A and B are shown apart, each in its own frame.
Chain A
């Protein structure tokens, strides 16, 4: 039985002594959202925050509940709901609330718990070019003994293999040759867990371009886990990652630009202690044409593609006020990836919009309002770290536009017209197709009235 979260039918009418956002078991639930949702999860603190804000939004996505092809909003309470259409025509993976990587069926939204709290994960299409991502004995080796299925992997089952050094030298490694496109950005990643490598040992992950550059990043094993190493690094790398998946597992990797048409995916077991005969567990090898690591895509004999996520077609003119209102989001980008990623209120065209944009320029974020084709408000802000969550609100009203982020006002304009005919809320451009929002979403809300400075500060703090 799924858990019910105390909201939706009780929103704004908290007669129950259970706090907003708390989770409790309710086996005879009559809550409409609970009843009509196949999947119901606690998105943690977000609805507590939103419950403390008055006035209440007309549309609220936390996210919490979802079905095949649909992402349910917490508000409105009654039909017609403002649920998002959701598509992703392939299976995908997420980290579930238990901390395990699990597959999620096609057309089901993913609430991902990497980092501890749940958020909607929206990713671009990507292909894992490593044909055997978790069958380590399918890799080639240099002075190493390979094995499969020896320990519990990040998916919670005993399907992780690894390799043991023969102690020949620091080049004891696993490797796999893969064809790539020249002058193209790729991301390499894998999950690793220490078995017997000594403290101070350095494991590296590399892509060695045939006739070109060795791109390599070192990671040092310490008494309490893994850290970036200042040694054994080579080539120009971006978006380096070191993510703790629990139970001793870490995801490591980076992005690079190829200078050849093939290369070798390599993991050197311990470059610091060449003569040691120690063991490293390895799982989930991934090479993808991306500027950052996307969620794990398992393979077993061929390259495999996960299709893009898309959520759109929420809203209606009854729920969105064109004359005045607020668009609020608690979101984070996945990386600086050179793309536009957009969330919009619109009339279905780019002429009338209220929107937030992660821009193609690194760390830049824009709030914009357009009325009848003219820009009424536009404010671009440079974020300190695009992958950190921001709480951002844009209040619009004739000659009264304000943008707040994380409790501070970052933009104001006292002239300009309100948009006209707003009736769509989409995690894309106004056309519903281009500049899909890729990132993490904890909340999207629409208010039918402009909020005061104090309310905007409270909302975004």
Chain B
């Protein structure tokens, strides 16, 4: 299992990339993923917290990322080749360019009980 953190220019681009991982349609007409990766749509994450009054009304709006963010727990593992070399699991095709760079700790989101730094791609 590997974890990747990604940012896309907008939700449409992110949804297209998710769909490309594989979907099918059941007999009721509902689409379902044919992959087994876990995808969390974080959306436009908060970069700077807003300020609010006692009734929760906005005094200063939060600063949101202009990118659309996803966290993905990939069902991928590092492997070992015939010479004993570790082959590190890679981002699926087309995802690497959207990968977020260095992040401290787990970032703004984590998978329960899974350390991002120990499992990042």
Contact partners of A350 in chain B: CB under 8 A: 26-27
Do A179 and B1 contact each other (CB < 8 Å), given the known contacts A208-B56, A305-B111, A340-B28?
no
> Which one of A194-202, A261-269, A390-398 contacts B?
A261-269
Tell whether, in the assembled complex, residue A90 and residue B112 are in contact, meaning their CB atoms are under 8 Å apart.
yes
Given A179-B64, A262-B62, A435–B26 Cβ distance below 8 Å? yes
Q: Are A307 and B26 in contact (CB under 8 A)?
A: no
**B113–A305 touching, CB < 8 Å:** no
Do A302 and B112 form a contact, CB below 8 Å, given A89-B75, A127-B40, A308-B38?
Answer: no
A179 with B62: CB separation less than 8 A: yes
Stretch at the interface among B78-86, B90-98, B101-109: B101-109
Please, which residues of chain B bring their CB within 8 A of the CB of A247?
A: none
Instruction: Name the residue on A nearest B35 (C-beta).
Output: A433
A263, B109: Cβ atoms under 8 Å? no
Contact between A433 and B111, CB atoms less than 8 A apart: no
Main secondary structure of the interface of B (DSSP, over half): loop
Confirm or deny: A457 has a beta carbon within 8 angstroms of a beta carbon on chain B.
no
| Pairwise interchain contact B109-A127, C-beta atoms closer than 8 A | yes
**A contact residues around B109 at 8 Å (CB):** 127, 302-305
With A340-B28, A435-B32 known to touch, is A306 a contact of B112 (CB < 8 Å)? yes
Are B43 and A89 in contact, with the CB atoms below 8 A?
A: no
* Chain A contacts for B43, CB-based, 8 A: 179, 181
Residues of B within 8 A of A266 (CB): 56
A89 contacts across to B, CB distance below 8 A: 1, 38, 73, 75, 111, 114
B46 proximal to A (CB < 8 A) = yes
> Are A305 and B71 in touch, CB under 8 angstroms?
yes
Interface residues of B (CB under 8 A from A): 1, 24, 26-28, 30, 32-34, 36, 38, 40, 42-46, 49-50, 52, 54-58, 62, 64, 71, 73, 75, 105-114
A-B contact pairs, 28 of them (CB 8 A): A89-B73, A89-B75, A89-B111, A91-B112, A103-B113, A125-B38, A127-B40, A127-B109, A140-B52, A142-B54, A177-B50, A177-B62, A179-B45, A179-B46, A179-B64, A262-B62, A302-B106, A304-B112, A305-B38, A305-B110, A306-B112, A350-B26, A431-B24, A431-B26, A433-B36, A434-B24, A434-B26, A434-B30
Additional pairs, 12, CB under 8 Å, beyond known A301-B106, A302-B106 = A89-B73, A89-B114, A125-B40, A177-B56, A179-B64, A208-B55, A210-B52, A262-B62, A305-B111, A307-B38, A433-B34, A433-B36
The 7 A-B pairs with the shortest beta carbon distances in the complex, nearest first, are: A91-B113, A264-B56, A434-B32, A90-B112, A208-B56, A142-B54, A91-B112
